[in-house]
Structure formats: C-alpha cells, structure tokens
C-alpha cells in the first residue's frame, strides 16, 4: 500500500515548513501549494503546486487524491487592503474547504488564530466558550474569524475538521515576530505599552507543528471534529520580560520607554486614519490592534487541546528563547 498523500497549504511558510517536515518524518507523501515556487521543498521530496488557493479550480486540483489537508496559508499582518485579506483568508479557505468536501477528503486541519475572539478587552485564562469577536479593528482578525467559521461548517458535510489557534508563533528561523522586534528596538522605535506587567501566550513553532499532527490524529480517532482549540506553550509569560530577555541576549538594547495604553490606542487610531486618508505606503507605526496586543493580557486555557490533541510544549520556553536570541546575536 502506498503512503498517504497530504496537502499543506502555505507549506513554504514558517509554520507550514515545520508541518511538512513532520509529515515527511511519518513517511507520508506531501504536496504543498503557495504563490511562490519553493525549490527547497521540491529538493526535499515534496510535490509543489504553485497557484492561488482562492481559485476554486486550483483548490480542486491540489486536494485531489489527498488523505488529509493542513490549511495553513493565510495573509497575516495588521495593515493592508481589506480585499487582499478577504481573498486570501476567506475566499481561499472557502475554496479549500469546498474542494475537500467535493473530493471526499476525510480530514482538514485549519490554522486559525486567537485574534478571532479579539474585542479589545483583556483575556486571562478564557477558553473556547468565548464567542467570535465583533467590530474588529483590523482586516486580519475579521477575515480569519470568517475563515474559521467557514472551515468548521463543513464538519457536517462529510469532512472531519478542526481549527487551531496558536498564539504568537516564534522559534528558529522566525521571519516575522522576533526580527521585527529586534529591528524596532535597534531603531529606538519600541516602547512598553501600559504597565509592562501584562501576560500573554507564546507558542514555539515546534509546539504548534506537533499540535497540528496531533489534531489530525484526534480527528481520525473520532475526537475534535467541528471544534476550535487555543494553542500555546501552556504557561503565559510577561510579554515585556519575554521581549527584553530576547533583546538582551540578542545583543540589542532593552526597552525602557513607556507609553500609557490609552495614549498608544489613541495614537493608533489617529495614525490609521492618516494612513488611510493619505494612502501612505507601509503600515502605521502604531495601530489600535497592536496597542491592545502589546498592553493587555491575552492568554487562554489550553486544557481542551491538552486533552483532545495531546498538546504539550516541544521545548522549554526560556531555554529555546535564549537559543534563538543567540542565533540572532551571532549573525
């Protein structure tokens, strides 16, 4: 019997590559898709199909013959045209989900985000009973909420599905969060928002990838179908302690300057209006969404993921952070 074929959308991305590696380690055949060619994946034995997942024809093509799909691809970030977020996150998810049902794919694991429950209010230990948010301050959170709802809706149509909400993914090779923090700190453009004591969840990329494979195992075992799960290292950290430890060990100045949360939020609102009115390039230096992310508690109860998916941290958070910081220092 030939090895099963699995699809990883966004397989060339940070989390996607980690999932691809785990699928290959299980002896599965892997197909990946994305807009940009990935010669490194192909060299590793992955079948790569370049294309736009929001195109239903491409979605049908890439899911054909698959025993499972990991839908990781998304447009992330806090600023940009809503139409781009809608196409990638909503239309892309709809096309993949509908293609799975049409092709009879048994299992779909959808990568979501805790931002789908964002309201601007702090979250401290909340679980999956939280409703999806409303009146989102950025297109990313809004479209990912719609996408999660779309993905989960197909569990009644024959394809088993669950949605995973990893919070602040980081680790070796991180192209997003840690390099951005480092660049802003070195440029003197980073400030502690609020009292600096807020706690947040963080998720090492290996923990997140392991949980995606655990989710597929759970679906096949009759658990998790139709459900969403928060993911993290399982122990919230004080955000600014985490950031300053990383910066210090990466050889960058720690953040000392402070800005009240209300001031940061108001500045974000004003800057968003200015950027939109003048159609300025790039993203504003502060937004309402970023202000609340930097200045409030947002950590979640991951008990359901521990129980159903076997979630556990793949590494010790602080030891792994020190290793990643050292890799930045040594570059």
Is residue 49 classed as helix, strand or coil in its secondary structure? strand
CA dist., res. 90 & res. 30, Å (int): 24
What single DSSP character describes residue 3? P
Query: Tokens 């979640």 label which residue?
Result: 300
Name the active-site residue from 48, 70, 140, 328: 140
CA gap 91, 134 in Å, rounded: 20
The reply to whether 229 belongs to the active site is no
Cβ(232)–Cβ(201) under 8 Å? Answer: yes
| DSSP secondary structure string for all residues of 86-128 | IIIIIIHHHHHHHHHHHHT-SEEEEE--GGGG--SS-EEEE-T
Helix (H, G, I), strand (E, B) or coil at 155: helix
Helix/strand/coil for 215: helix
Query: Exposure of 221 by Cβ count < 10 A (0-12 exposed, 13-18 middle, 19+ buried)?
Result: exposed
CA distance 70 to 108: 6
H or E element at residue 227 = strand 227-231
Active site residues per annotation: 140
């Amino acid at each position: 019997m030939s090895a099963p074929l699995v699809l990883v959308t966004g397989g060339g991305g940070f989390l996607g590559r980690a999932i691809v590696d785990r699928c290959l380690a299980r002896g599965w055949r892997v197909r990946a898709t994305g807009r940009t060619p990935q010669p490194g994946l192909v060299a590793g034995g992955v079948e790569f199909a370049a294309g736009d997942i929001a195109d239903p024809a491409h979605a049908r093509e890439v899911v054909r013959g698959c025993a499972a799909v990991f839908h990781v691809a998304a447009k992330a970030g806090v600023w940009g045209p809503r139409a781009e977020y809608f196409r990638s996150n909503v239309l892309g998810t709809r096309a993949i989900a509908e293609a799975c049902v049409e092709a009879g794919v048994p299992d779909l694991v959808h990568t979501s985000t805790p931002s789908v429950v964002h309201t601007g209010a702090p979250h401290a230990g909340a679980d999956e009973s939280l409703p999806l948010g409303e009146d989102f301050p950025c297109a990313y959170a809004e479209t990912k909420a719609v996408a999660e709802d779309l993905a989960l809706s197909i569990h009644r149509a024959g394809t088993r599905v669950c949605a995973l909400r990893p919070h602040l993914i980081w680790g070796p090779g991180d192209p997003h969060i840690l390099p951005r923090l480092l660049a802003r700190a070195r440029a003197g453009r980073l400030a502690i928002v609020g009292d600096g004591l807020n706690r947040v969840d963080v998720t090492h990329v290996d923990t997140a990838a392991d949980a995606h494979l655990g989710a597929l195992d759970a679906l096949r075992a009759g658990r998790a179908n139709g459900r969403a799960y928060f993911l993290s290292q399982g122990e919230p950290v004080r955000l600014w302690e985490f950031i300053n430890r990383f910066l210090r060990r990466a050889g960058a100045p720690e953040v000392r300057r402070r800005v009240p949360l209300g001031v940061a939020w108001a500045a974000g609102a004003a800057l968003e209006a200015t950027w939109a009115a003048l159609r300025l390039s790039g993203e504003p230096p502060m937004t309402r969404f970023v202000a609340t992310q930097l200045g409030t508690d947002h950590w979640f109860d991951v008990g359901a993921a521990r129980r159903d998916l076997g979630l556990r941290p793949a590494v010790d958070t602080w030891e792994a952070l020190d290793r990643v910081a050292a890799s930045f220092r040594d570059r």
